[in-house]
Amino acid sequence: MTDIHIRKQGRAGRITLTRPRALNALTYDMCMAIEAALDEWRDDDAVSLVLLDAEGDKAFCAGGDIAEIYRQGKAGDFDTGRRFWRDEYRMNAKLAEYAKPIVSFLNGFVMGGGVGLGGHVSHRVVGESAQIAMPECGIGFVPDVGGSLLLSRAPGRLGVYLGLTAARMGPADALHANFADVFLPEEKWEGIKTELADTGDLEALEEDGYPLPESPLAAAQPEIDRLFAAGDLAGIATALEGAEGELAARARKAVGRNSPLSMAVTLEMLRRLRAEADPDIRTALRQEYRVSHRIASEGDFLEGVRAQIIDKDRDPHWRLALDEVTPETVAAMLAPLGEDELAL
């Protein structure tokens, strides 16, 4: 497969995304190849750890390749998308629960499906070029691939801010928000990967002392906590409307632009996860799949993809305005699916 390079090198199983011109966007076949490799290496004594990286300097992975899901959905076929998300989420769970160390090297754009691929593993290395985000509300979707779990674990109201606005995190922000574990300069990565593969242990990740820029999100945490304190979307919108400053202006613009239904559902997803005593990846993925199962037929996904990716007119016509989204509408998107529930 030309989109992905899977091999063994020394003591490591190596998975490299090889679609740099497409910003290493994940296809269904790529997801299945990754899952198959993980299954193969699980009981292979010759593989001590797994390395996840990507070709090119623009993106580790900018998300899932959703154009085909859009085309099939417009034709009335919603099962193509449901299959993609169901099987991708199963792969996400395997990455999060893998018995051997997995090291992801996160550079450039790491968004949506890229977070699902590299954001749940045991050791997440972030470089200086990293721009990490969950931008789904902008295309009429919700943070998925386990991203809702990461957002729910971010300090204060930071997860709500990131989920609703699709704001991007640099490397220091990602560390502050618990989307990454260690910062290593990208010029060191090839040597580190070689050492990891040669030795099969993680000592190469223990280097420190590299200067890391200050985190704008950490500095803005009190302001974010105040602006996003409300428990409902209308309250957040009201707080933003009366706020001054650059961060509030950017957030106000994003909340005014993104899908009201998607934002309201995202807010409720995070509330439910935070209410759990100890939510895990499976809890998050099952909740996300209830939404993704419905999102093309009952939500704003097709219109959002059309406006942002297909026609690129950046002028989506959402089904509901902010004041038209009710608790009952949100609850319906998150209702159990019966026999269609996600099985992991």
Which stretch of 35-39, 193-197, 209-213, 233-237 has the lowest confidence by average pLDDT?
209-213
Phi and psi based region of residue 297 (left: phi greater than 0; alpha: psi -120 to 50; beta: remaining): alpha
Beta-carbon contacts of residue 254 (< 8 Å; ≥ 6 apart): 138, 164, 165, 166, 167
Confidence of residue 206 (pLDDT cuts 50, 70, 90): confident
Asked if the model's pLDDT at residue 212 lies above 90, the reply is no
Dist. CA 197–CA 51, nearest whole Å? 8
Checking 201-210 for CB contacts under 8 A at 24+ apart, the result is 201/48, 201/49, 202/49, 202/101, 202/103, 202/123, 205/103, 205/123, 205/125, 210/183, 210/184, 210/185
Pairing of strands 59-61, 109-111: parallel
Q: State the pLDDT confidence band at 255, using cuts at 50, 70 and 90.
A: very high
235: its two tokens: 């309250």
pLDDT at 209 over 80: no
- Compute the CA torsion angle 135, 140, 145, 148 (nearest 10 deg): 70
Residue 154 CB neighbour total at 10 angstroms: 22
For the beta carbon of residue 235, count every other beta carbon within 10 angstroms: 13
Condensed to tens digits (0 to 9), the pLDDT of residues 81-98 reads: 999 999 999 999 999 999
Q: Which residue in 148, 194, 235, 164 sits closest to 53, CA to CA?
A: 194
Q: What is the mean pLDDT of residues 338-344?
A: 96
Q: pTM above the 0.85 mark? A: yes
Instruction: Tell me the per-residue pLDDT of 125-184, one tens digit each, with 9 for 90 and over.
Output: 999 999 999 999 999 999 999 999 999 999 999 999 999 999 999 999 999 999 999 999
In the chain, the domains with their CATH numbers are: 4-340 (3.90.226.10)
Side-chain half-sphere of 319: how many Cα atoms within 13 Å? 19
Give residue-wise pLDDT tens across range 232-250: 999 999 999 989 999 999 9
pLDDT (mean) for 54-66:
95
What is the pLDDT, as a whole number, of residue 115?
98
Asked if pLDDT for residue 207 goes beyond 80, the answer is no
Confidence at residue 211, expressed as pLDDT on a 0 to 100 scale: 82
pLDDT at 1 over 70: no
- Detail the DSSP E strand segments found in 18-171: 49-54, 59-61, 102-106, 109-111, 123-126, 131-133
